[in-house]
Amino acid sequence: MRTSTKKIWASKFKIFYMFLLILSGEAVFVLPFVLARVFRATVLDVFHINNTELGFCFSIYGIVAVFSYLFGGPLADRFQPRKLMGTALILTALGGLVYAGSPSLITLAILYGFWGFTTIFLFWSAMIKATRVWGGHKNQGKAFGFLDGGRGLVGALFGLLGVLVFSFFVTDTQIELKPTEQAKAFQSVIYVSSAIVALIGVVVFFFLKIADNDKMQTLDKITFENIKTVLRLPVVWLLMLIILCAYVGYKITDIISLYAKNVMHYSEVDAAQTGTFLLFIRPVVGVAIGFLADRSKGSIYLCLGFLLSIVGALLFASGILKENMDVLFFISITITAVGVYAARVLYFAVLEEGRIPLLLTGTAVGIISFIGYTPEVFAGPAIGYFLDATPGMEGHQHVFWMLAVFSVIGFLASYIFYRITNR
């Protein structure tokens, strides 16, 4: 009887543990990215900036984040994830108070640099290691599938909540909003989001614990030898390239709502709802791909994800998607999203397939992310430049040609990864 009770409690702990990982894993990025993705057109108007200037803010975030990946990775092998993650969430929420004040471009750039530190140095590698521990040897696909799929659902719910809060301040969704109405509505969205993120941070700090504490091993100290051990693995270098290409795709999905407004001529609220629809695709893809990957090899589905990204990118880049072609537009969104999110789910799920030591997961994730997430630096400015240099349909086509090129490179790297791990 006692054994049965212990198993039940262990199962409940695992479910609650994953729930907190999912909730915190997306909540930490709501302020810097989810709101900008869903309300991109609104963000540009409220802060009086253009796409290039917003891309500059993302670039500042990326520069800080790239170095935070490198140094934050070993930190995750030294300290318990709950302490690092909880602190990161609370600090990120405090940044929301500055965000709500409609800061100048310089202040906004500094704020994004601050968020680059809180969301990455303290949070990222700790979350990935905690997820890998949950998955064990046989359920890495499910672990990262639940994580990314769940994060997608949380992001979608935050987006939906944001649209609802925003719509309370809108008298007519079909007319252009006054600047004061627009600013007040978006400010309310920020305050509500910040409060929720802070609350999640407190819960994570005290309650993100796994039943079997032996699984959450930590190093006694951080050494350069650990870094050299990780760098000797060929799969680590391939994962750098795979994540880089996949993350370019993920960053490009940020402009889907803008495409809906500028090319398909949707209203501001309808464009935001399009961005939210995109977020709801992510949880379905995450869970489905996670289960499939555990039945075979994750690298196979990595290849498939990049192939779908190529198809979706070519549909947008071809210029055939125009006003009143809503069905084809949403089919193209779905194909692109499935491909991008499938790759995103699996690029850390294959750590086990690549036989990277569990104890050095944080170090490996930090090193891989140092190169893999460099799109944080260059993707935003590149996307902003294409959109502002050639406004309208043509600018969006250039962005999706960029997606096509990186997806091809990602497919080739994934195939080589599959061949190496299959030996």
Please indicate, yes or no, if residue 358 is contained in any of the structural domains: yes
Cβ-contact 422, 297 below 8 angstroms? yes
Q: What DSSP designation does 120 have? A: I
Does the pLDDT of residue 1 top 60, yes or no?
A: no
Q: Which helix (H) or strand (E) holds 407?
A: helix 393-421
Mean pLDDT (whole number) for 62-80: 84
Does the pLDDT of residue 402 top 50, yes or no?
A: yes
Token pair 């991008």 is at which residue? Answer: 340
The torsion angles phi and psi of 80, rounded to 5 degrees, stand at: -65, 135
Does the pLDDT of residue 59 top 80, yes or no?
A: yes
In this prediction, residue 63 carries a pLDDT of: 87
In this prediction, residue 214 carries a pLDDT of: 43
Q: What percentage of residues in the chain have a pLDDT greater than 90?
A: 31
Interatomic CA distance for residues 279 and 208, integer angstroms: 25
Please indicate, yes or no, if residue 273 is contained in any of the structural domains: yes
Cβ-contact 416, 302 below 8 angstroms? no
Please indicate, yes or no, if residue 1 is contained in any of the structural domains: no
Does the pLDDT of residue 227 top 80, yes or no?
A: no
Please indicate, yes or no, if residue 214 is contained in any of the structural domains: no
Does the pLDDT of residue 31 top 90, yes or no?
A: yes
Mean pLDDT (whole number) for 127-139: 82
281 token code pair:
């695709």
Q: What percentage of residues in the chain have a pLDDT greater than 70?
A: 91
Please indicate, yes or no, if residue 2 is contained in any of the structural domains: no
In this prediction, residue 217 carries a pLDDT of: 57
In this prediction, residue 391 carries a pLDDT of: 83
In this prediction, residue 296 carries a pLDDT of: 77
Residue with the bigger pLDDT between 323 and 19: it is: 19
Does the pLDDT of residue 109 top 80, yes or no?
A: yes
pLDDT tens across 288-336, in order?
888 888 777 878 999 999 999 999 999 999 888 887 788 898 899 999 9
In this prediction, residue 302 carries a pLDDT of: 92
State whether the Cα torsion 65-70-72-77 is positive or negative. positive
Interatomic CA distance for residues 411 and 419, integer angstroms: 12
Give the residue numbers spanning the domain of 115: 7-208+222-421
Closest CA to 353 of 423, 257, 254, 264: 423
Q: What's the total number of domains in the chain?
A: 1
In this prediction, residue 416 carries a pLDDT of: 93
In this prediction, residue 118 carries a pLDDT of: 95
Mean pLDDT (whole number) for 148-167: 82
Q: CA angle, corner 132, sides to 130 and 136, nearest 5? A: 120
pTM: 0.76
Interatomic CA distance for residues 56 and 243, integer angstroms: 22
pLDDT tens across 335-382, in order?
999 999 999 888 888 888 878 877 777 788 888 888 888 887 788 888
Does the pLDDT of residue 400 top 90, yes or no?
A: yes
Does the pLDDT of residue 47 top 50, yes or no?
A: yes
| CATH number, domain containing residue 107 | 1.20.1250.20
- Residue type for position 400: F
Please indicate, yes or no, if residue 266 is contained in any of the structural domains: yes
In this prediction, residue 173 carries a pLDDT of: 52
- pLDDT band for position 213 (50/70/90)? very low
In this prediction, residue 4 carries a pLDDT of: 57
74 token code pair:
């070993």
Please give, one letter per residue, the 3-state secondary structure of the chain: CHHHHHHHHHHHHHHHHHHHHHHHHHHCCHHHHHHHHHCHHHHHHHCCCCHHHHHHHHHHHHHHHHHHHHHHHHHHHHCCHHHHHHHHHHHHHHHHHHHCCCCCHHHHHHHHHHHHHHHHHHHHHHHHHHHHHHHCCCCHHHHHHHHHHHHHHHHHHHHHHHHHHHHCCCCCCCCCCCHHHHHHHHHHHHHHHHHHHHHHHHHHHHHCCCCCHHHCCCCCCCCHHHHHHHHCCHHHHHHHHHHHHHHHHHHHHHHHHHHHHHCCCCCHHHHHHHHHHHHHHHHHHHHHHHHHHHHCCHHHHHHHHHHHHHHHHHHHHCCCCCCCCHHHHHHHHHHHHHHHHHHHHHCCHHHCCCCCCHHHHHHHHHHHHHHHCCHHHHHHHHHHHHHHHCCCHHHHHHHHHHHHHHHHHHHHHHHHHHHHHCC
Does the pLDDT of residue 386 top 80, yes or no?
A: yes
Closest CA to 151 of 32, 289, 282: 282
pLDDT tens across 271-287, in order?
777 877 777 787 888 88
Please indicate, yes or no, if residue 413 is contained in any of the structural domains: yes
The mean predicted confidence, pLDDT, of the chain is 84
Please indicate, yes or no, if residue 383 is contained in any of the structural domains: yes
In this prediction, residue 220 carries a pLDDT of: 52
Interatomic CA distance for residues 143 and 132, integer angstroms: 7
In this prediction, residue 98 carries a pLDDT of: 94
